[in-house]
């Protein structure tokens, strides 16, 4: 019995029945459902959460072809792998990408594999006009949304670099892009017992323990955290970048601009989860771990397909086991968070 079986027995049943490669269950790894920014948190790293309580009558496969998922930044990397996995599992998936040609080819390559329920639309999450156009397109093609995976992100640093030359674009894409798209799509979520799901692909580099400014840390962990606090934090970081003081203000030390963008995304997820608690909508974060994609220059301890397998598992948790406001860590016995 692995921890994955303990946390998600219904998923294990389901995946074994479909002969999916359960890499997280066959290694010694733990699929850890981590509490995010809990006020009582005393440890530096996110705290391991108690296993969700499991009902004996689990719905194993709650979704169907009518279940609609949107994945951003999905022309390559983890986003592409997630679209492929979700489509393989029988959902209707909208692959989005900022570049029409790259995105169209990616979607076509999946349809050519028989995944006919993969659709494509252009979406540049850093551009509010593109978000508006996408939401209109979505409304015209679908009646409702079940799953939103905010995956699109940028980083302009090689693994051991820490330039903030592109900090504004990093924050605009990774935090504001996900936030604006989420807010624009909120009215489209299906009201159903299966619960709407927002999965923000984040990073442990954006864990609150990476912030060395104690006031900032307290604010992020506070029960009264608001969107205004988060935007003020992001504004303060960008101001430090403009003034050239960002190194001495206690911001995360690794991939600082990217880490701040993910810190803000994690905090926003917590605010969203609180806002919709008990209202049929869950919001969680998922750190895929060090994954071989363009973002890491191909380095990493797992493939995009392996990371996507865990991401899909979290996105498809049975409604009765679906938490909200949690930070899920990718699973691997050798986790290396120094991207
Ligand atoms: P990739 O660089 O392979 O993929 C990033 C994707 O985001 C690309 O499709 C890219 O499109 C797209 N994108 C970038 N900017 C925009 C934009 N403005 N609008 C729409 N799409 C955009 O990276 P990964 O697959 O590794 O990253 C996926 C997610 O996983 C990210 O959120 C990342 O932060 C997270 N992550 C990754 C880790 C890793 O080790 N790889 C570790 C922890 C988290 P284009 O091809 O046009 O550039």
> Which tens digit of pLDDT belongs to each residue from 226-267?
999 999 999 999 999 999 999 999 999 999 999 999 999 999
Instruction: For the chain, give the mean pLDDT.
Output: 83
Cα dist. 121→68, 93, 144, 281, 329 in Å?
A: 14, 11, 16, 24, 29
Mean pLDDT of 307-330: 91
Alpha helices in 142-247 (DSSP H): 167-171, 178-185, 214-221, 227-243
Q: Whose CA is nearest to atom 11 of ligand 1?
A: 73
Ligand 1 neighbours, Cβ below 6 Å, are 72-73, 75-79, 97-99, 102, 123-126, 151-154, 173, 177, 201, 203, 287-288, 290-291, 293-296, 300, 304, 339
Q: How high is the pLDDT of residue 11?
A: 43
Please say if the pLDDT value at position 270 is more than 70: yes
Nearest CA to ligand 1 atom 30: 201
Average pLDDT over residues 185-198: 96
Q: What is the pLDDT of residues 41-75, one digit of tens each?
A: 322 233 333 333 323 333 489 999 999 999 999 99
Residue 17, pLDDT > 60, answer no
Q: Locate the ligand 1 atom nearest the alpha carbon of residue 76 and give its number.
A: 9
The closest alpha carbon to 93, from 113, 62, 120, belongs to 120
Residue 330 pLDDT class (50, 70, 90 cuts): low
Residue whose Cα lies nearest atom 12 of ligand 1: it is 73
Ligand 1 centroid to residue 74 C-alpha, Å: 8
Query: 143 or 337: whose pLDDT is higher?
Result: 143
Ligand 1 centroid to residue 152 C-alpha, Å: 5
* DSSP-assigned letter for residue 20: -
Nearest to 236 by CA among 216, 253, 221: 216
Whether 258 sits among the annotated catalytic residues: the reply is yes
């Amino acid at each position: 019995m692995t921890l994955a079986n303990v946390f998600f027995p219904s998923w294990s049943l389901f995946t074994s029945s479909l002969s999916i490669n359960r890499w997280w269950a066959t290694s010694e790894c733990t699929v850890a459902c981590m509490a995010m920014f809990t006020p009582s948190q005393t440890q530096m790293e996110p705290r391991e959460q108690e296993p969700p309580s499991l009902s004996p009558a689990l719905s194993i496969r709650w979704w169907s072809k009518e279940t609609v998922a949107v994945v951003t930044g999905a022309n390559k990397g983890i986003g592409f792998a997630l679209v492929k996995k979700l489509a393989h599992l029988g959902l209707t998936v909208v692959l989005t990408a900022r570049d029409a040609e790259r995105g169209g080819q990616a979607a076509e390559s999946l349809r050519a594999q028989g995944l006919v329920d993969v659709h494509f639309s252009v979406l540049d999450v850093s551009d509010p006009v593109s978000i508006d156009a996408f939401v209109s397109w979505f409304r015209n093609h679908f009646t409702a949304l079940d799953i939103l995976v905010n995956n699109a992100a940028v980083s302009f640093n090689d693994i051991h670099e820490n330039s903030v030359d592109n900090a504004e674009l990093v924050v605009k894409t990774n935090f504001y892009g996900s936030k604006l798209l989420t807010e624009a799509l909120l009215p489209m979520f299906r009201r159903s017992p299966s619960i709407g799901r927002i999965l923000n692909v984040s990073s442990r580099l954006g864990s609150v323990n990476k912030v060395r400014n104690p006031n900032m840390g307290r604010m992020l962990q506070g029960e009264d955290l608001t969107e205004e606090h988060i935007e003020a934090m992001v504004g303060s970081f960008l101001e430090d970048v403009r003034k050239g003081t960002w190194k001495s203000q206690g911001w995360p030390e690794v991939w600082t601009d990217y880490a701040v963008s993910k810190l803000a995304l994690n905090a926003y997820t917590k605010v969203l989860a609180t806002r919709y608690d008990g209202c049929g909508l869950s919001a969680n974060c998922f750190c895929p771990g060090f994954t071989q994609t363009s973002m890491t220059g191909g380095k990493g301890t797992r493939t995009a397909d392996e990371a996507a397998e865990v991401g899909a598992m979290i996105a498809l948790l049975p409604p009765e086991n679906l938490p909200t406001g949690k930070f899920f860590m990718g699973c691997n016995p050798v986790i290396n968070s120094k991207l």
